[in-house]
Structure 1
Amino acid sequence: MKHNDIQSFTCTGVVRNSGLLLGNRYMLAFALALPAVVFYLCAAYRQWQTVSGRKPEGRLAVLTCTMVGALLHLGSIGITMLGREHINFAMFEVGSLIAWVIILLLIFSSWRKPVDNLFIGLLPMAAVILVCAAVSGQYYPLPDLSYGLAWHILLSVLAYSVFIIAAVQSILLYLQDLSLKKHQTQGLIQSLPPLQTMDLLLFEMIWLGMILLTAAFAIGWPYVADLQAQHLLHKVVFASIGWLVFAILLIGRYRFGWRGIIASRWTLTGTAFLVLSYFGTKFVLEIILHRS
């Protein structure tokens, strides 16, 4: 066998072995994701049974299933994001990370705040995103991760997580306000905290999200060298619009007492711009154009 043939055979073997190892990683990630999804859906269904009055309150069962699911979820995203030389910042992997942070924030918040009903909407969402991340097989590495950029990413993930929770909270607030005006307070609406409490919870989330997002902007801006070359123009524009929407909402709250349906609409609009700023541009670049 000639030297070139040996070299070609060796390279082919390395590629095949790398592909096999990569396949095994994603099989393991899926093996962890699948039971996590089951636990998430069981917790959401159990909370729905409590809300609908079919079973008495099962808070311990909901939290236990959610925490077990979150541990399995962490293992799965650890494999898909950290299983190679560089951190994998593909769209579904980042989405899965944000979903995990959302669940973690809900678990901790539920010990102090009446947010248990948010599990009904957020757990199925996390389950869907987790499955997508486990089976997507995408790899968009983040090779140069400085200390400042790491803080920017961390704060951005936390801000997005808080605003997505606030968006679901605003949907419940919208439905509650609408139902009270129509004198229809059955099912889910009946199980919600008082309207004033729901309103206060929403604005606590918005204030926290704004602090985190503003800090993320301030830390991340020095790393912007060329908006066009770094594919950041659309991200910056949409994220800035989202920040502005929430700033107007907070001013409106302070000056005009905005609450209820008005606050819900502004919250959903601001969150939509933030989600579009990152995941919209990531979808176009990675799924449509196949660029990082």
Structure 2
Amino acid sequence: MAFYLLAAFACVHNLLNPQNTGPRYGLLAAICALLLHGIWLYDTVVQVPGQNLSMLNVASIISLIISALMTVLVIRFNVLLLMPLVYGFAGLLLAADSLLPGYYSVHLETRPEVLLHIGLGLMSYSLLAIASLLAILLGFLDHRLKKHKLSNLPAMPPLMTLERYLFRLIFVGVVVLTLSISSGLFFLQEMFSPGKAHKALLTIVAWCVYVVLLWGHHRLGWRGRKVIWASVAGSILLTLAYFGSRFVREVLLS
């Protein structure tokens, strides 16, 4: 948690001092945070026998994936404006998981197909969550550009470059989400059973939203607000699908 906060502070410092060309202490702190986070999650989730996939553990796994992917992304091009939020949220989830431990035992070692399905689901959610963050950043920069207020912001990637990366992420995320849904339909007989059908339906609706978005961009040239709202709506639907019932069962009814 300390390394996440240090990385977030370093990102804020670099945003306020764009001329800073010293060592990338923020990147070093972020790498330390990611490594320690992974070790902590392994110790918390992997048990003998079984795995503890409580809601906060799953959320913490997703935050680790998002933080790692965003760290790679910020090295490729400048999305530093998002990094304090990403690292700060990962640190808060880690704190919540430490202070409010939950327990939801599964045995994935006996069902590798379920492990594949869950892994694909977590990766697709992470990719599409990052896409929604980029969409929000794109909307923010577009708004500032129209107001002629970009001069007081740190250096940002060109809007066309940001939009190109956004649609690449959405495309890859949809491909992985398609594999996740397909693996569930093929391997999980209980996918549409009572108590789980809403998760499958919300996930399929989110998939439809993203597919329509990609089609609209490719065939009709959709850009701007349509892309932003569709990306955020798809991310919200996936969040409700993955965490809605778990939140009710593990928090409200516990």
Q: Which residue of 55, 58, 66 maps to 1:102?
A: 66
Structure 2 distance, partners of 1:49, 1:252, is 39
The C-alpha deviation readout for 1:240-274, integer Å capped at 9, x for no partner, is 11111111110110122122332111111110100
Q: 1:65 to 1:243 in 2, by over 3 A?
A: same
Indicate conservation of the 8 Å contact 1:70/1:104, yes or no.
yes
Shift of 1:224: 3.2
Q: Is residue 165 from structure 1 mapped to residue 112 from structure 2 by the alignment?
A: no
Structure 1 distance, partners of 2:21, 2:220, is 38
3-state secondary structure, aligned to 2:149: coil
Indicate conservation of the 8 Å contact 1:160/1:209, yes or no.
yes
Shift of 1:172: 0.8
Structure 2 distance, partners of 1:135, 1:146, is 30
Q: Is residue 238 from structure 1 mapped to residue 166 from structure 2 by the alignment?
A: no
Shift of 1:184: 1.3
Q: Is residue 181 from structure 1 mapped to residue 146 from structure 2 by the alignment?
A: yes
Indicate conservation of the 8 Å contact 2:9/2:84, yes or no.
yes
Q: How does 1:97-176 map to 2 (within 5 A)?
A: 97-144=61-108, 145-176=110-141
Q: 1:160 to 1:118 in 2, by over 3 A?
A: same
Indicate conservation of the 8 Å contact 1:80/1:133, yes or no.
no
Q: 1:58 to 1:136 in 2, by over 3 A?
A: farther
Q: Is residue 82 from structure 1 mapped to residue 62 from structure 2 by the alignment?
A: no
Structure 2 distance, partners of 1:252, 1:41, is 39
Q: Which amino acid aligns with 2:12?
A: W
The C-alpha deviation readout for 1:22-70, integer Å capped at 9, x for no partner, is xxxxxxxxxxxxxxx1111211121122222376155721210000011
Gaps of 5+ in 1: 1-36
Indicate conservation of the 8 Å contact 2:64/2:90, yes or no.
yes
Structure 2 distance, partners of 1:58, 1:288, is 48
**Which portions of structure 1, spanning 4 or more consecutive aligned residues, are displaced by more than 6 angstroms?**
none
Q: 1:186 to 1:46 in 2, by over 3 A?
A: farther
- Equivalent residue number for residue 256 of structure 1: 220
3-state secondary structure, aligned to 2:76: coil
Structure 2 distance, partners of 1:122, 1:171, is 13
Indicate conservation of the 8 Å contact 2:114/2:188, yes or no.
no
TM-score (norm 1): 0.81
Q: Percent identity?
A: 29
Q: 1:284 to 1:57 in 2, by over 3 A?
A: farther
Structure 1 distance, partners of 2:11, 2:145, is 22
Q: 1:229 to 1:211 in 2, by over 3 A?
A: closer
Q: Which amino acid aligns with 1:204?
A: R
Q: Which residue of 186, 191, 199 maps to 2:155?
A: 191
Structure number with higher relative contact order (C-alpha < 8 Å, ≥ 6 residues apart) = 2
Indicate conservation of the 8 Å contact 1:199/1:260, yes or no.
no
Structure 1 distance, partners of 2:117, 2:27, is 30
- Equivalent residue number for residue 268 of structure 1: 232
Shift of 1:118: 2.7
The C-alpha deviation readout for 1:167-215, integer Å capped at 9, x for no partner, is 1111111100111111111444x42111111111111111111011001
Structure 2 distance, partners of 1:208, 1:58, is 35
Name the larger-Rg structure: 1
TM-score (norm 2): 0.92
Gaps of 5+ in 2: none
Structure 2 distance, partners of 1:43, 1:75, is 18
Q: Which amino acid aligns with 1:214?
A: T
Indicate conservation of the 8 Å contact 2:192/2:200, yes or no.
no
